[in-house]
Amino acid sequence: MNENIYTPDVVIVGGGVAGLTVALNLAPRKVCVITKNTLGVNTSSSWAQGGIAASIAVEDSHESHIDDTLKTAKGLADETVVRKIIIESNEAIKDLEAIGVQFDKNADGSFNLGLEGAHSFNRIVRSKGDSTGIEIMRGLIEQVKLSDHVTILENVSIDSIMNENNVIYGVVGRFIDKNIPDNHVVIQSSNVVLATGGLGGIYANTTNPRSSYGEGIALAAQAGAILSDMEFVQFHPTGLDFGLDPTPLATEAIRGEGAFLVNQNNERFMIGIHSKNELAPRDIIAQNIFKQIEMGNSVFLDCRHSIGQNFNTSFPQVYSYCLKADIDPANELIPIIPVAHYHIGGVKTDLKGKSSVEGLWCCGEVAATNIHGANRLASNSLLESLVFAKIVANEINSEPLKKQNDTISSSFIKTYKEKTKNRIRAKKYIWQLRSSMMRNLGIVRSQNSILRCLTDIIRIERESHSLSAKLSDMILVSKFIIVGASKRTESRGCHLRADFVSAKPQFLKHIDQTQTTLKKDIQIILNNASQSSKEQILAS
Ligand code: SIN
């Protein structure tokens, strides 16, 4: 058996914007960054188009940005967290510029800021229009490669966090190399930072890489961490409906430049629904596009009158996808669908990025910091990642360096290695799960659809014998979403219940879960299902 053992001061799982920013700010502590792919490839960070929301225009203010964030969040954001993050926005941009990241500027040197849904001012800092993620990742990767304190382990997938009695000992994973059957890698460290991104990959239509399926949430839950707000999955209104998996994004900044949303009859269906029309908050746009589709309509972005011939220079990423689909946005409509894009919930963290497990830190999409509430304001997530990554690094740096735990016994490590599941392909079941989550736990949910999805997941779990590591994580994470969605018997932000269409004051609270509560909660859903809904599901 091959064995690779590392003993850094801190191990960071995830090589996107959050993970790399933590790594850079931890110097001189020794850091291992683990990534499932080659660094910078197939990460949501690199695919980010819109940019970083920052209230830096002369006419703008932090107060206005805070106000827009709180309004969009529908009562569930924590104002202290919102303030903490937004007040740091200028600093976050300066940090990136200091490492050579180039943002779009006007002739006078000021930022050429974009506009996105529900923002009161143009405040999206971006790079080459829609290539912001690529540019930020370029800068961060270059810097990390120059940093002696960082070791990058590529193509490694983590199977478990080693912890006992609320003490972290590190992580156990494997190199993803099809030719070597049992190539474990053990990274011993008393500090583990999860920066693993989101879970869009558990949905059939998503803008996320397929490798984003909630692995970090599953790891944290299995280590005993508390999860929060799992039901809040945000759908982006405009995925490019070109039949691709994952679905490429058409950034909201396109609507910020004046593009319309129309159906096949050329009707601007957002008019009269919200005062900001196509720039209404994301939940409202996504839900109204979904309504159009349910009515049998097709939905398009119409950029002809606004962006026209400038499309290729203003939005080169989106333009290249359109070209491949043989669509010329200057003269033709672009077909779009709403797609799973961002997970608001995740591992519950405090103001320092600490989870409920000592030594386990989280930042970026995997964390539930309470900045986004029930609905995330566009482009607040890269900002959150950058600010919280620095907070986590500073907190770890401020703690005395814990002595390396040389005393972890090989038998202790062996128990974790033995728990690892096969990397077998479970494509059929993965597809069934993604499709059921999309149909039943998508933009609109109801107790019946939730029950239907739970029934599917239980069957998939039974038939697949839970042999695949990826499928097991997807099943676990889906169950947490199912429970959250079932308990939240109201509609709020991106959680829309067809059977409870209004928000209820008693739900101005977060729904927390753990692996221990999950089994009982699933049983409650099954027990409470009425005979008639069971019959309906069996008949459907
Ligand atoms: C976009 O470019 O529309 C996405 C921005 C975001 O999801 O925050």
**Residue 24 — very low, low, confident or very high, per pLDDT cuts 50/70/90?**
very high
Question: Is 317 touching ligand 1 by the criterion CB < 6 Å?
Answer: no
CB-neighbour burial class of residue 265 (10 A; exposed 0-12, middle 13-18, buried 19+): exposed
Question: Is 379 touching ligand 1 by the criterion CB < 6 Å?
Answer: yes
Report which protein residue has its CA nearest ligand 1's atom 2.
50
Spatial neighbors of 429 by CB under 8 A, at least 6 apart, are: 460, 463, 464, 468, 471
Beta strands in 267-411 (DSSP E): 299-302, 334-343, 346-348, 360-362, 367-368
Kindly state the percentage of the chain with pLDDT values over 90: 87
Question: Is 378 touching ligand 1 by the criterion CB < 6 Å?
Answer: yes
pLDDT (0 to 100) of residue 1: 47
pLDDT single digits (tens) 116-146:
999 999 999 999 999 999 999 999 999 999 9
Question: Is 50 touching ligand 1 by the criterion CB < 6 Å?
Answer: yes
Averaged pLDDT score across all residues of the chain: 94
Which atom of ligand 1 is least distant from the CA of 379? 8
pLDDT (0 to 100) of residue 536: 66
**What's the whole-number mean pLDDT along residues 240-249?**
97
Closest CA to 171 of 347, 359, 25: 359
Distance 272 CA to ligand 1 centre (A): 24
Query: Per-residue pLDDT for 84 more than 70?
Result: yes
pLDDT single digits (tens) 435-481:
999 999 999 999 999 999 999 999 999 999 877 889 999 999 999 99
State the DSSP code for 468: B
Per mean pLDDT, which range of 174-178, 279-283, 477-481 is the poorest?
A: 174-178
Question: Is 238 touching ligand 1 by the criterion CB < 6 Å?
Answer: no
Q: State which amino acid sits at residue 263.
A: N
Ligand 1 binding pocket mutation candidate from 45, 46, 47, 49 (most atoms within 8 A of CB): 49
**What's the whole-number mean pLDDT along residues 259-286?**
96
Tokens standing for 114? 């974009």
Distance 193 CA to ligand 1 centre (A): 25
Q: How many CA atoms lie within 13 A of 490 on its CB side?
A: 15
Distance 12 CA to ligand 1 centre (A): 25
Question: Can you give the pTM of this predicted structure?
Answer: 0.95
Which atom of ligand 1 is least distant from the CA of 50? 2
Distance 116 CA to ligand 1 centre (A): 8
Question: Is 49 touching ligand 1 by the criterion CB < 6 Å?
Answer: yes
Distance 342 CA to ligand 1 centre (A): 9
**What's the whole-number mean pLDDT along residues 39-63?**
95
Query: Per-residue pLDDT for 280 more than 90?
Result: yes
Question: Is 198 touching ligand 1 by the criterion CB < 6 Å?
Answer: no
pLDDT (0 to 100) of residue 140: 98
**What's the whole-number mean pLDDT along residues 155-159?**
93
Query: Per-residue pLDDT for 425 more than 80?
Result: no
**Residue 406 — very low, low, confident or very high, per pLDDT cuts 50/70/90?**
low
Tell me, yes or no, if 462 is annotated catalytic.
Answer: no
